[in-house]
Amino acid sequence: MSLLSVRNLKMHFSVSKRLFHGPSPVVKAVDGISFDIDEGETLGLVGESGCGKSTTGRSILQLLRPTSGTVHFGGKDLTAMWRPSWGQWKWSEELRQLRQQMQIIFQDPYASLNPRMTVESIVGEPLRTFSTARGGELRRQVQDLLQRVGMDPHYIRRYPHEFSGGQRQRIGIARALALNPQMIVADEPISALDVSIQAQILNLLTDIQAEFGLTYLFIAHDLAAVRHISNRIAVMYLGRLVEVADRDELYASPMHPYTKALISAIPIPAPTVEKKRQRIVLKGDVPSPMSPPTGCRFHTRCPVKEARCEVEEPAMREIESGHQVACHLV
Amino acid sequence: MTQPLISIRELHTHFRTDDGIVKAVDGVSFDIAAGETLGIVGESGSGKSVTCLSMLGLVPSPPAFFPRGEVLFDGLDLLQLREQELKDVRGDKIAMIFQDSMTSLNPYLTVERQLTEVLEIHRGISRREARAQCIEMLEMVGIPSPEKRIDQYPHEYSGGMRQRVMIAMALLCKPRLLIADEPTTALDVTIQAQILELIDELKRELNMSVILITHDLGVIAGTTDRVAVMYAGRIVEQGSTEAVFATPCHPYTRGLLQSIPRLDDPTVEKLFAIPGVPPDLSALPRGCPFHPRCDSVTDRCRVEYPDIVQFGNGQWSVCWEAEATA
C-alpha cells in the first residue's frame, strides 16, 4: 500500500477582491492532480517555474488548505482533519500529531533559517515542541543530528550567518530529521547551492534515506539531479501532471511532447555530444495560470498539436504498466 | 594567431574591506579572437563576474582598486580611460547583458524609452529614427508584434521576453564583443534553450565575439569554443572546450565534471563530490587555494602557488600535479 496517496488535488488562490469588478480572478496553481508514493520510494516532481510543483508540496503537507481533493497519508485523509475556528480553518490536534511524520526541506537556506536563533534552537525546536527532552538531553540529541548531517557538533552555539550555503542546507536537513519522520518533501533543496556543493547534499539525502527509511517527494527543475535521486518521476505543466513513469522509462522513452522537449533542452556537459544533439526548442512562454488555455494546456506551445487538442482536455491514461500520459496523440 | 579582439593581461581587482583586502580577481589573463565564444565557469565568488565588470569599468572604485593589469581593446587600455571615454566604448563596441532582467531594466520607463536612449547617445540620431531601428531589433530577437510591445513597461513582459529585450538593447549598436553574465540562470530550461539559440544565431549574423559567464557546464559545452575555469580569483585551467572536457588537467575541473549528474550517463548510487566549501577570499590558504579540497594534494601545494603548465594545443592549467605529468 502507498504511504502517500493524492487524489484530484486542487489548490486555487483568489488574486484580489476588488469591489464591483465582478468575481475575483482565480489562479489555479494546482488543478486536479493524483499520484501515489510508496514507502521508501523517491518521487521526483519536475516542471518549470510557476507550474505548481511547490504549491503541490505545500498543500500535501497541509501548509496550505487544499481547495478540494484528498491527501491520504498512512491511510488517513489529512484534508478532513481541518477544523473551523472563529471563521478560519485550523489544524486539528490529530493533524498536528500526524504531521510530525512529514517534514520539509526548503530551497533557500538563507531565508529558511531564523537569523536570530542559534543552531541549537533551530534544530531543537521540533524536539521542544513535540518531545519531552529538555536541557542536556535535548542538546545531546541536537548534537547527534548535526553529526548525522556531517557537521561539527560543537557548532550548536553559532548563528546561521556564520555558515556557508551548503552548511545551512545541512542545518535545515537536521531540523527536518529531528522528529524521525517517515516522509520528507524536499522543495528544490540544491538549486540555490554552488555546483561543487550540490553533489554533497544529494549524497547526504541518499545516505539519510537509507539510514532512516525515508520516503521523499523531491521537487526540482533540474532534470539531471531528479534522474539521479528518484525512483519515479512526475512531470507537471500549468497545474496538471502530464506524464508519470519510472525513472529509466521516462528518460529512455518519454511520450508526452512536453517531456520530450524538456529532456532535449537539458544541456549535457560534453561538447562532442552536445554539439551533435537535435534540440526541440519550444516556441513562446508558459501561459498564465490565471487563464490557462482551453483543451490541453500545452497546446499553445506543442509542436505536434491537432485540432481536438484545443478543445478537449486529455485524461491521464496508463499506456504501459506504471507509465501514465495525458496526451491525445499517444 | 591573428590579432585578438580584446586581450586581458594580469588583471587584478582587489577590494578594501573591513576584513582586510579581498582579492576578488588576482591575475587573470585571456585573449578573445573575433567571432570567438569564450566561456568562463566558476562558483559564486570565484571572480568571474568581477573580471568582466572590471573590463568595462563598472566596479565602483573605491572600494575596488586595480594594482596591476591591462585590458587592451583597439590599442587602448580600458583600465586607463577616463569615464567619458569609457562611455563611448561601453554599450557601443562592448555590450553586456546581466542575469536578472527585472532589476537591470528600469521599471519606470517604457521599453521604447530604454532602447531608443542607447541609439540617441551612441549614434546621435533622433528618437523617431531610433524607434524604427529598435522595433526592427525587437523583431530580430523574437518579440511578437514589436510595434505594440515596444510601448509597454518591463513588468508587462515575461522573464524570457525581458531577457530578449536586454539582448536587443545590447545589440542595438552592433557591438564587437558581447559579455553575457549568466544570461539564462534565472530562466526555465525550455526558455534557456531559446535564448542560447538566439545568442548563437545573432553572433554568427553580426560576427561578434562573446564572453559567456555561467556556472552550468552543460551550457558551456554546447555554446563555447574555449573555456576558462576560475577558482578563488584566478583562472586555473583554460583551453578549447573540447580539450578541457575530454582531458581536464586541473583537479578542480575534473572534480566539477565528475560531480554533476548527467542525463546520458548510467545512474549511480553515489555521486562523486568535491569535499569542503569554496574558500573565503579574505582568508585564502597559503599555496594553491584549492589544496584543502584537492584529492591529489602534495606538500608543495600547501606552500607554493603552482606555475602555468602548457599542454600544446593551447590548453594550460596551474597545478603542480599537472606539471609532473606534462
Chain B hits for A251, Cβ within 8 Å: 263
Chain A hits for B278, Cβ within 8 Å: 164, 194, 196-197
B20 in contact with A, Cβ within 8 Å? no
**Residue B232 backbone zone (phi > 0: left; psi -120 to 50: alpha; other: beta):** left
Cell of B52: 568582466
pLDDT confidence of residue A17: 62
Task: Name which residue leads in pLDDT, B67 or B39.
Answer: B39
B219 and A194: CB-CB below 8 Å?
A: no
Task: For residue range B60-100, list pLDDT tens digits in order.
Answer: 888 888 888 999 998 888 888 888 888 888 888 999 988 88
Chain B hits for A202, Cβ within 8 Å: 261, 271
pLDDT at A284 over 80: no
B70 in contact with A, Cβ within 8 Å? no
pLDDT confidence of residue B83: 86
CA distance A317 to chain B (A): 25
Between A197, A265, A270, which is nearest B221 by CB?
A270
Q: How many CA atoms lie within 13 A of B258 on its CB side?
A: 17
Which residue, among B231, B233, B253, has the nearest Cα to B322 in the 3D structure? B253
C-alpha–C-alpha distance, residues B137 and B140, integer Å: 5
Residues of chain A with pLDDT > 90, as a percent, come to 72
A269, B245 in Cβ contact below 8 A?
Answer: yes
pLDDT confidence of residue A213: 93
Task: For residue range B307-317, list pLDDT tens digits in order.
Answer: 888 888 889 99
Q: How confident is the model at residue B326 (pLDDT cuts 50, 70, 90)?
A: low
A214, A182 in Cβ contact below 8 A?
Answer: yes
Task: For residue range A35-71, list pLDDT tens digits in order.
Answer: 999 999 999 999 888 889 999 999 999 999 999 999 9
B1 in contact with A, Cβ within 8 Å? no
Tally C-beta pairs within 8 A across A and B: 133
C-alpha–C-alpha distance, residues A174 and A155, integer Å: 13
pLDDT at B261 over 80: yes
Q: How confident is the model at residue A20 (pLDDT cuts 50, 70, 90)?
A: low
Task: For residue range B174-229, list pLDDT tens digits in order.
Answer: 899 999 998 887 777 888 888 888 888 888 888 899 999 998 898 999 889 999 99
pLDDT confidence of residue A317: 93
Reported residue count of chain A is 330
pLDDT at B1 over 60: no
Amino acid at position A78, single letter: L
Chain A hits for B143, Cβ within 8 Å: none
Backbone angles phi, psi at B197, to 5 degrees: -65, -40
Q: How confident is the model at residue B111 (pLDDT cuts 50, 70, 90)?
A: very high
The single residue listed with the C-alpha cell 587573470 is B28
Helices vs. strands in chain A: H and E counts, helices first: 10, 14
pLDDT at A104 over 90: yes
Give chain B's mean pLDDT. Answer: 88
pLDDT confidence of residue B109: 93
Cβ neighbours for B278, distance < 8 A, ≥ 6 positions apart: A164, A194, A196, A197, B43, B44, B45, B46, B232
Backbone angles phi, psi at B121, to 5 degrees: -75, -50
Q: How big is chain B by its Cα radius of gyration, in Å? A: 21
C-alpha–C-alpha distance, residues B248 and B315, integer Å: 9
Q: How confident is the model at residue A25 (pLDDT cuts 50, 70, 90)?
A: confident
User: What is the chain A residue with the closest CA to B161?
Assistant: A285
pLDDT at A175 over 80: yes
B16 in contact with A, Cβ within 8 Å? no
Burial of A93 (0-12, 13-18, 19+ CB in 10 A): exposed
Looking at the DSSP bridge assignments, the partners of residue B313 are none
B255 and A196: CB-CB below 8 Å?
A: yes
Q: Is the peptide bond before B63 cis (omega within 30 degrees of 0)?
A: yes
pLDDT at B43 over 90: no
B260, B217 in Cβ contact below 8 A?
Answer: yes
B267 in contact with A, Cβ within 8 Å? yes
Task: For residue range A220-279, list pLDDT tens digits in order.
Answer: 988 889 999 999 999 999 999 999 999 999 999 999 999 999 998 888 888 888 888 888
Pairing of β B234-240 and β B308-310: unpaired
Question: Which element (helix H / strand E) includes A183?
Answer: strand A183-187
Chain A hits for B183, Cβ within 8 Å: none
Helix (H, G, I), strand (E, B) or coil at B314: coil
Task: Name which residue leads in pLDDT, A167 or B264.
Answer: A167
Task: Name which residue leads in pLDDT, B281 or B228.
Answer: B228
pLDDT at A76 over 80: yes
A242 in contact with B, Cβ within 8 Å? no
Which residue, among B317, B170, B137, has the nearest Cα to B244 in the 3D structure? B317
Burial of A179 (0-12, 13-18, 19+ CB in 10 A): middle
Looking at the DSSP bridge assignments, the partners of residue B9 are B70
Between A202, A247, A282, which is nearest B190 by CB?
A282
The single residue listed with the C-alpha cell 551533435 is A276
Mean pLDDT within A161-183: 93
Cell of B242: 573540447
User: What is the chain A residue with the closest CA to B195?
Assistant: A281
B245 and A270: CB-CB below 8 Å?
A: yes
A198 in contact with B, Cβ within 8 Å? yes
B189 and A164: CB-CB below 8 Å?
A: no
pLDDT confidence of residue B157: 85
Cell of B279: 574558500
Chain B hits for A278, Cβ within 8 Å: none
Interface test with B, best of A110, A202, A285, A288 (most B CBs within 10 A): A285
Separation of first and last alpha carbons in chain A: 29
CA B278 from chain centre, in angstroms, equals: 19
Mean pLDDT within B114-143: 89
Chain A hits for B257, Cβ within 8 Å: 269
Q: Is the peptide bond before B4 cis (omega within 30 degrees of 0)?
A: no
The single residue listed with the C-alpha cell 555546483 is A195
A252 in contact with B, Cβ within 8 Å? no
Which residue, among B290, B270, B229, has the nearest Cα to B51 in the 3D structure? B229
A236, A242 in Cβ contact below 8 A?
Answer: yes
Helix (H, G, I), strand (E, B) or coil at B160: helix
To the nearest 10°, the Cα dihedral for B252, B254, B260, B263?
Answer: 160
Output the CA torsion sign for A292, A294, A300, A301: positive
C-alpha–C-alpha distance, residues B281 and B42, integer Å: 14
Burial of B103 (0-12, 13-18, 19+ CB in 10 A): exposed
Q: How far is CA B294 from CA A14, A250, B234, B276, in A?
A: 53, 36, 16, 9
DSSP state of B71: E
C-alpha–C-alpha distance, residues A287 and A51, integer Å: 10
Q: What is the ipTM of this complex?
A: 0.81
B261 and A228: CB-CB below 8 Å?
A: yes
